[in-house]
Amino acid sequence: MDYRIGVDLGGTKMLLALATADEGEVIRTKKVFTKAAEGPQVILQHLIESIEEFLSKEGLSFNRLEGVGFCMAGFYDIRSSRIVSSPNLPGWEMFPLEKELKERLRLPVIIENDANAAAYGEYIFGAGRGKKNLVNITLGTGIGAGIIAEGKIYRGSGGFAGEIGHLNVLPNGPLCGCGRCGCLESLSSGSAIEREGRLLLAESFPLPGAARDVDAGLTASHVFAAARDGNKEAIKIVERAAYYLGLALSFLVNILNPELIIIGGGLANNGDALFDPVRRYLNEAAIGPSGEMVALVPAELGEEAGVRGILSLLDEFLKGR
């Protein structure tokens, strides 16, 4: 009973991390593709098999595990311990996640929303070390956030706090995956930048260097590359995405007065090309004192933020029993 496993389930992949109980050190991680379309029962069965295979490769048996921390994308209701729904995982509506995991694992299990777990990971081990009030934003295909208030995850009354991606920043704006129009996610996410880039491509958007022939494979990084190359239309796309992100962050800053906003996810790899305009628009829109004190920094843990965070929460849970 001296090992623990952290799991981060997303729409396309599942990340497993094996850690020791005493040091909490992650000794190995493993990525497996998610059979997203097959629904929760198949995915959980696949998870159990993946854990067994993972352990056996380390020469460990299942009874060496003392707990599992599980985080996933989706609305997890902390009152009923059910997933209400998950935008990229069909078939999870009202799924009794805690009950199902405990029945299958027969071990102590904790469950968390993935954005909260990632925020906790950055808070304990990453860019947020030593800060007690922060927001961790994941800027990728979608936009998620986890809030740390006074050193604890702020979950709200049902567990649904931190949905920054669906702040309505442009009434009647582009259609969002949630069915509403003008959400931040429809304006500043990787998919939004990609969509705008493709619209330009249809009007013979001159792309730089190797990106010239990408056509259908165009991604947000091609748009950033074109902007770096001085392409005026690409610069406009980046500025617009940064404007709405800065605006949304100003809402958080005015309400929460955090000392730190951490930005991770694929888009954060664009560095100052993203951070500079976001910081500028954030400072313009936020109230003076809060805007002046908040630092905007890149995340440090990459895709391991979620499993690191959930393992840390599991450690606190097991010690507190």
String of contacts with Zn ion for each residue 154-193, x by CB under 5 A? ------------x---------x-x-x--x----------
Task: List all residues 6 or more positions away from 103 whose beta carbon is below 8 Å from its beta carbon.
Answer: none
Comparison of 104 and 180: residue with beta carbon closer to Zn ion: 180
Size of the site for Zn ion (CB under 5 A): 5
CA distance 185 to 167: 8
- Judged on CB neighbours under 10 Å (0-12, 13-18, 19+), 185 is buried
Distance separating alpha carbons of residues 219 and 196, to the nearest angstrom: 10
The answer to whether residue 82 forms part of the interface with Zn ion (CB under 5 A) is no
| Shortest CB 180 distance to Zn ion, Å | 5
Output 126 or 146, the one with its CB closest to Zn ion: 146
At its nearest, how many Å lie between Zn ion and the CB of residue 162?
Answer: 14
Tokens of 209: 């260097």
When the beta carbons of 133 and 189 are compared against Zn ion, the nearer one is: 189
| Angle 57-58-61 from CA coordinates, rounded to 5° | 90
3-state secondary structure of 149: strand
3 state DSSP class of 235: helix
- Which residue, 180 or 240, is less far from Zn ion as judged by CB? 180
As measured in angstroms, the least distance from the Cβ of 203 to Zn ion is: 27
Question: Taking the complex as a whole, how short is the minimal distance between the CB of residue 114 and Zn ion, in angstroms?
Answer: 17
Q: Please state the closest distance from residue 8 (CB atom) to Zn ion, in A.
A: 22
Buried b / exposed e along 25-57 (16+ C-beta atoms within 10 A): ebeebeebebebeeebeebbebbeebbeebbee
Closest approach of Zn ion to the CB of residue 166, in Å? 4
- Nearer residue to Zn ion within complex by CB, 112 or 185: 185
Based on CB atoms, which residue is closest to Zn ion, 178 or 214? 178
Interface residue list for Zn ion (CB under 5 A): 166, 176, 178, 180, 183
